Every structure is written in structure tokens, then in C-alpha cells.
Chains A and B, each alone.
Chain A
Amino acid sequence: MPEKIDKKIISLLSQDISLCSRPFEKLALKLGIKERILISRLKAYKKSGLMRKFSVALNHRKIGFKHNAMVVWNIPDKLIDHSGSLLAVLTQVSHCYQREKAPGWDYNLYAMIHGKSKNECLNLIKDISRQISCKDYKVLFSSEEYKKTAAKYYSLP
């Protein structure tokens, strides 16, 4: 489990950091630690898989990816790894998970697919479904974004 200082670092880094030439120096100052300590901790989080990625998040609608479909498939358990790996390599797929089924909801493979048009998404989805030999699926386009934020860690009451 992370120590107190790790919690502070993770809480800060999971939200927007300020843009400047030496961002870690600025953050370290805020945390009351040395810049090189902060940098070595960050490298350690990355190495252990605690941190997935430190990068810039874009508003995909503003760069032309206006359409976003969540696709759910009902896949036999023994085929799910194969299907998931096939989806994972596609650049248009940002997220892919196996999820638990629920009463009245038989879908277990989920993917978020982004495209510049609805048709682009739909064609890709048809292609994928053929490749994974699955006819039982649903396409759910998003029509409104009510919230999209970074997860908040160690800052909740």
C-alpha cells in the first residue's frame, strides 16, 4: 500500500498539473519534497503498474472523433480471451473489458469505439463481429456527455 507521501503525489498527479518548463520541480515544492525524489517515485509507480500513463488527455470531439460507440457482445467464456485480444490491437478501440453479466443482460465483452462518423464506427463493428463470429451484440452510441473527469484518489471524505 502507498505511503502518505505517495497518496499526496497520486492525488496531485491524477488531476491536471500546471504547464511549465519544470513541472516536477513545481509539484515537488508543493509536496515539500525534492524534485529528484518525486521523479524517482513517479518512475517507480510506472514500473510497478500502479501508474498506467502520464500524458495529455484530449477532448476527442474537438479533434474530429465526434462519434463514440460502446459495443457489447455476448461471447462464450472460452472465446473471450481471443476476442478481447483481437479488439485490443485496434487503434479505434480505446477501452476493452470483460465484464460480469447481469440479470436480463447477457453481454460480457465491452469495447469503446471512436470514429469520425457513425458509419465508420458501424462498419468497423460489423467487421469485428464477423471476425469474432458473434451475432449477439448491441451498439450504444453516446448522445450526451454529462460528465467526464479523472478519477479522484485519496481526496474524498
Chain B
Amino acid sequence: MSRSQKLTPLDKRILNRIQQEIPFICRPWDKIAKSLKVSEPLLLKRIAFLKKQGVIRRISATFNPRKLGYFSTLVAIKVAPVDIEEVARKLNVYPEVTHNYKRNSEYNLWLALVAKNRLRIKRIIAKLKKDKRIKQVLELPAVKLFKVDVNFKV
């Protein structure tokens, strides 16, 4: 039924390892392969397969937006259930919208935004408020970060 049942024990070991830091050396995969006691070509083959299956979304770095001079925030929106799909699609067009989830609450659409500056966020929010289908908008910027670490035990 679920994809997790199709993962081999090796795939699970690989996934647990590569969710952690990938080292900044010439051949990072070779080093990881050695620690998993497999060959580099086999590791690359399994990662390519898991990527194709959609289990791996991407190989990338995450940055601290504030340290790059960017501004990030969370936005909660109240929208009539009949309009939610259409409004969500419209919001997805903004490259600043990184996450967009429907949630079971009076505020039913939740967006994460990363933008060049606060003004850009303010402009996007002002636009949202003009959309008649959107009943209410809350901007909920972070005051303090306690944790960001996405690392699932597979």
C-alpha cells in the first residue's frame, strides 16, 4: 500500500544518512557510500531511483533567510471552502510562496513566504486582502526560532 513498504533496508539506511549533512569535499557521495559500506555507483543508483520515485524531493541547501537579508513569514487565510482550490492556485503563482497548505481550521489556508524584504510581503498581503473570496488574513512573523531540522527516521 504505502511506498515505505517498498523501501529496501539499504534504501532506509541511505535515507537516514543523507537527510543529515552532506560533506563539502570533492566526492561527498563516495564518503557517504563508505560509511554505509556500499560502493559509490550503487549509492548513486539508489538515490537516483528514490528521486525518480518522488521519495527524495531534492538535493539542496537551506539558508537562514534573515542572514541573507531576506524576510520570511507565515500567513493564515480564511476563505470559503468552495473557493479554496482556486485561491490556493492563484497564490501558488507567487514565487515568494514556498509552502501552501489547506488545514482544518477557521483559518484554512496557510502560506509560508520568503521575500526580498518586508515591503514585498506587505504588498502581497495587501493584494490578498483585495480578493473578495478571502475573508481574513493574519500575518504571523517569527519572533524566535527554536528549531528547524527536518530529519525523519525512515
Q: Does B38 contact A (CB under 8 A)?
A: no
Residues of A within 8 A of B59 (CB): 16-17, 19, 23, 55-57
Nearest-CB distance from B136 to chain A (Å)? 8
Q: Is A156 a contact partner of B116 (Cβ separation < 8 A)?
A: yes
Interface size on B, residues (CB 8 A): 78
Residues of B within 8 A of A103 (CB): 138
Q: Does B55 contact A (CB under 8 A)?
A: yes
Nearest-CB distance from B23 to chain A (Å)? 9
Contact with A along B15-47 (1 / 0, CB 8 A): 100111110111111100000000010001001
What would 12 A/B residue contacts be, using CB atoms closer than 8 Å? A23-B59, A25-B26, A62-B53, A63-B154, A143-B103, A144-B101, A144-B102, A146-B91, A147-B92, A150-B62, A151-B70, A151-B114
What 11 additional pairs, Cβ within 8 angstroms, besides A51-B62, A63-B152, A97-B146?
Answer: A49-B67, A53-B21, A58-B154, A63-B4, A63-B55, A66-B2, A94-B149, A100-B139, A143-B102, A147-B92, A153-B70
Binding site for A on B (CB under 8 A): 2-4, 7, 15, 18-22, 24-30, 40, 44, 47-48, 51, 53-65, 67-70, 72, 74, 76, 88-89, 91-92, 95-105, 107, 110, 114, 116, 138-154
